[in-house]
Copies of this chain bind each other. A is one copy, B any other.
Amino acid sequence: MKEFVFGVDIGGTTVKLGLFTTDGTLLDKWEIPTRTENGGSAVLPDVARSIEDKLTEKNIAPEQVEGIGVGVPGPVDSDSTVHKCINLGWGVFNVKQRMNELLPAIPNVAAGNDANVATLGELWQGGGKGYDSAVMFTLGTGVGGGVVVDGKIVAGKNGGAGEVGHMTVNPEETVPCNCGKCGCLEQYASANGIVRMAKIMLTECSTPSALRSMDSFTSKDICDLAREGEEMAVSVVDRFGDYLGRAMSFIGCTTDPDVFIIGGGMSRAGAVIIDAITKYYRKYVFHVSANTPIAIAELGNDAGIYGCARMVIG
């Protein structure tokens, strides 16, 4: 095992880079802009140059670097082939091959989907530290996720593994999700979804609520009111927990992970949502898996660079 490793998390506007020791300490992190023009052809050359500059700055020889892990916002094969990354303008090509051309001195390169990689990062040094298998739910604008079994990312035949936000938890739903289907978890358990659900629930009852007097409200408003014990907000969070806990129970009956991890902006609500999720997870899952811990993500936006680095450590 060499001494250093790079994690490179490519987003639609910025690329986050991290220099780690191979035992998991983040030594330095920085960002460069993602230049998506011309089919994103400058993105990986920019990354390679930035890594070379960092090696010079830190006086590290390429031979001291174990490898470079790359996270990408789109489907990635287990052999590091990207299958179109709309946000980056990329078509189909092999990230490892391209990086090997750009930086032949550091041949060990692997690429993974950003949500899967973030799960691996949380498992390595975050909310799932100490475990081998995890499933993460990232509750942001939508609901993303990642599945790791025995330390390895499960990408799936079609890159569809970890698309937990698109489990059809409500087959009666008539309003379509962004994906085109109706009744996806994302329509109830994302930051936008819980607000949408609260608005509908408010029209269906006359329970008093501070939410009724707000011009607009956010998932944070709902969770704050629920934490204070407001009846209406508590019932919204309870229904959120029912959908998310149920989705989690399906995974408990499939891969039975060591730990579930809740990430994304909504995870900042903490115990008030974890309690609601846990209540329903335990209700719905097969009894042997009822006590699986549900942890909160700890690495925030750094989960990606951690997971990228972890990918190339044997």
A: which residues have CB within 8 A of B? 75, 78, 133, 135, 147, 149-150, 152, 154-164, 166-168, 171, 179-181, 242, 246-247, 249-258, 283-289, 292
Contacts and interface: CB of A to CB of B under 8 A. Distances in A.
Contact of A167 (B150, B180, B249): B249
A180 B290 CA distance: 13
Contact of A286 (B147, B163, B257, B288): B163
B287 A156 contact: no
A160 B288 contact: yes
Given A171-B246, A289-B156, A164 B253 contact: yes
Contacts of A256: 154-161, 163
Contacts of A289: 156-158, 160, 163
**Copies of this chain, how many?**
2
Contact of A288 (B78, B152, B163): B163
Contacts of A286: 160, 163, 166, 179, 181
A164 B289 CA distance: 13
Contact of A157 (B160, B247, B292): B292
A168 B246 contact: yes
A250 B166 CA distance: 9
Contacts of A171: 242, 246, 284
B257 A156 contact: yes
A242 B149 CA distance: 29
A171 B179 CA distance: 24
Given A158-B289, A160-B289, A255 B254 contact: yes
Given A154-B149, A171-B246, A246-B168, A288 B254 contact: no
